[in-house]
Structure 1
Amino acid sequence: MKKPVFLVTGNDLAPAALALLRDYEVVYAGKAPTEDDIVALCRRHDPVAVIVRYGKVGAAAMDAAPALKVISKHGSGTDTIDKPAAAARGVQVVAASGANAAAVAEHAMALLLACAKSVVALDGRMRGGHWDKSTHKSVELEGRTVGLIGLGAIGQRFARIADAMGMRVLGHDPYAKEVPAHVERADLETIWRESDAISLHCPLTADNAKLLNAQTLSACRKGVIIVNTARGGLVDEPALLEAVRGGQVHSAGLDSFAVEPMTAQHPFLDEPRIILSPHVGGVTADAYVKMGVGAAQNALAVLNR
């Protein structure tokens, strides 16, 4: 008898996750599947579950898989899944929330430190034969204020790191019921006005698209550092570039972008005060296992009800 199918929108899954799916056939969509690729595979295999790593899963894919019961995110962000379409079809959407929290929080702090300490610029200068000890001044983070937008598992872990470094932590999240004692709740206007650095840790929604734009960036302290390890759509990219070049923003550390992969002609590539990484904040060997196991367990929990 043919096993029911799990479709993975990627080219692999952690062995520990695969062990949980031994009663299912696992089909991979490849390294960078398009929506059409995913629809075709759904039509061919009629999966009972989809584990989403890359690409988008929309209504067409769901309609191509009448056996589909659950869509499980390999990670926490579900903005690449059409949740209203899933709800209308009785398909449950679940996420491995918190599985990559440590990885993303560490990466966000790495980007903040790289900006504050001019790590990339100084490395380039030294490789060019320069020794800037007598002229360079970095930004000291102790005693500075960092504003966090989003206080989920990632935001709260970042807050712990910042607090341990002696930073004042402001946090904005209308959905957070409990906030640690070292985080001061703040509205967005206070975040803009009082933060020396701002780090984004919220999901992308229709309401917060381009949250950081020309208006909000102009309301920030001059010389603010911007860090985004969440979703690229939270930032108006031309406005950020202008704010960096104009000096309103000291520097930015970005791990996510409006269009991914980033195009070869993107203007960020020519701005040395914007530090870039290819959406790898949650990509560590440990997080890969935790996200895979979490995604598999969450899907099986729905199927086994």
Structure 2
Amino acid sequence: MSTVLVTGADLAPQALALLEGHEVIYAGKTPTESDLVALCGAHDPVAIIVRYGKVGATVMDAAPSLRVISKHGSGTDTIDKVAAQARGIEVVAAAGANAAAVAEQALALLLACAKSVVALDARMHAGHWDKATHKSLELGGRTIGLVGLGAIGLRFARMADALGMRVIGFDPFARNVPAYVECVDLPTLWRESDAISLHCPLTDGNRGLLDADTLAQCKRGVIVVNTARGGLIDEAALLEAVRSGQVAMAGLDSFAVEPMTAGHPFQGNKNFVLSPHIGGVTSDAYVNMGVAAATNLLQVLARQPAVAG
């Protein structure tokens, strides 16, 4: 019986049903590289489903039978794709499986920032009534700039359009962009957006995309939302931009280092609305991503029969 290693503590029952006939081994909620190497050495999996942690060359070399690495989600930046290619290991992702969940989280963060949801909640619980002094931001008629127009970005675009926002977007790889999304270049997006939401994968080419230079090109008082990857933002530059008022609010679900450690400079700043990278973590997305990850790896295994040795 061949083995599938899951870099997590669980998998949706619907996904496990698809993997019947394979032995499924779990690495736990926070697997380290040494944990994964040890498990690969002990079980020699033909496939790895990546939920948490990173899978690099050292892990791959510990599993000589490994033929496919399947991401439980859409972002594959935690997988060394160059090392996988060199070893003939296919990398697949559950693109779109969590699109609804992440797009809704982006909308929640945008609204929380525009409507001061967190700050007003804290004031109300402390016994205050700020109706006479507080004014929220109306999003209707304002411009939202989306970096990335894949499954998540386009889902969010539809929500923003429904709010009456002007939607502009940048994605050189986008296809079938609806009429209500105006495709622009990045300088235009920085210049014209009242709010910016990131929906692109993290690559070597866009790391630190939002930095001191690009933030300075934005409208003063812009809202920044990130439900993609923390590495897209230069966090020191964003902190300075928030402190100076160049960025009015930032709603973030992903960070350069995860989990966020105590004492992070974003903590305690009322102009940051934070969530622990749970945009794609809903009961529905959990099933969708698990099923897609299992389906994808089974398709690769069916296409690449094991080499007798």
TM exceeds 0.5? Answer: yes
- C-alpha distance after superposition, 1:158-192 (max 9, x if no partner): 00000011000001001113311110001000011
Residues 1:225 and 2:223 are matched in the alignment: yes
Residues 1:44 and 2:42 are matched in the alignment: yes
Tell me the SS of whatever aligns to 1:253. Answer: strand
Instruction: Give the corresponding residue for 1:59.
Output: 57
Q: How many angstroms apart in 2 are the aligned matches of 1:260 and 1:228?
A: 14
Instruction: Give the corresponding residue for 2:26.
Output: 28
Residues 1:148 and 2:146 are matched in the alignment: yes
- Selected match of 1:300 from 280, 286, 298: 298
Q: How many angstroms apart in 2 are the aligned matches of 1:178 and 1:149?
A: 16
Two-structure CA RMSD over aligned residues (Å): 0.5
Alignment-mate amino acid for residue 81 of structure 2: K
**1:44 Cα deviation after fit:** 1.1
Tell me the SS of whatever aligns to 2:45. Answer: coil
172-181 vs 272-281, which moves further: 172-181
Tell me the SS of whatever aligns to 1:26. Answer: strand
Q: How many angstroms apart in 1 are the aligned matches of 2:166 and 2:4?
A: 45
Q: How many angstroms apart in 2 are the aligned matches of 1:173 and 1:34?
A: 34
Q: How many angstroms apart in 1 are the aligned matches of 2:146 and 2:106?
A: 11
Residues 1:189 and 2:192 are matched in the alignment: no
- Selected match of 1:165 from 143, 163, 170: 163
Q: How many angstroms apart in 2 are the aligned matches of 1:230 and 1:35?
A: 23
Q: How many angstroms apart in 1 are the aligned matches of 2:190 and 2:209?
A: 11
- Selected match of 1:249 from 247, 251, 254: 247
**1:230 Cα deviation after fit:** 0.2
Q: How many angstroms apart in 2 are the aligned matches of 1:187 and 1:34?
A: 40
Instruction: Give the corresponding residue for 2:125.
Output: 127
Q: How many angstroms apart in 1 are the aligned matches of 2:75 and 2:68?
A: 16
Alignment-mate amino acid for residue 287 of structure 1: A
TM-score by length of structure 2 reads 0.97
- C-alpha distance after superposition, 1:215-266 (max 9, x if no partner): 1001000000000000000001011011111100010000000000001010
Instruction: Give the corresponding residue for 1:180.
Output: 178
**1:57 Cα deviation after fit:** 0.3
Tell me the SS of whatever aligns to 2:236. Answer: helix
**1:128 Cα deviation after fit:** 1.3
Q: How many angstroms apart in 2 are the aligned matches of 1:34 and 1:6?
A: 17
Moved over 2 A (4+): none
- Selected match of 2:67 from 56, 69, 84: 69
| Aligned sequence identity (%) | 74
Tell me the SS of whatever aligns to 1:264. Answer: coil
Residues 1:96 and 2:94 are matched in the alignment: yes
Q: How many angstroms apart in 2 are the aligned matches of 1:107 and 1:48?
A: 34
**1:270 Cα deviation after fit:** 2.1
Residues 1:283 and 2:263 are matched in the alignment: no
Tell me the SS of whatever aligns to 2:267. Answer: helix
In structure 1, the gaps of 5 or more residues are none
TM-score by length of structure 1 reads 0.99
In structure 2, the gaps of 5 or more residues are 304-309
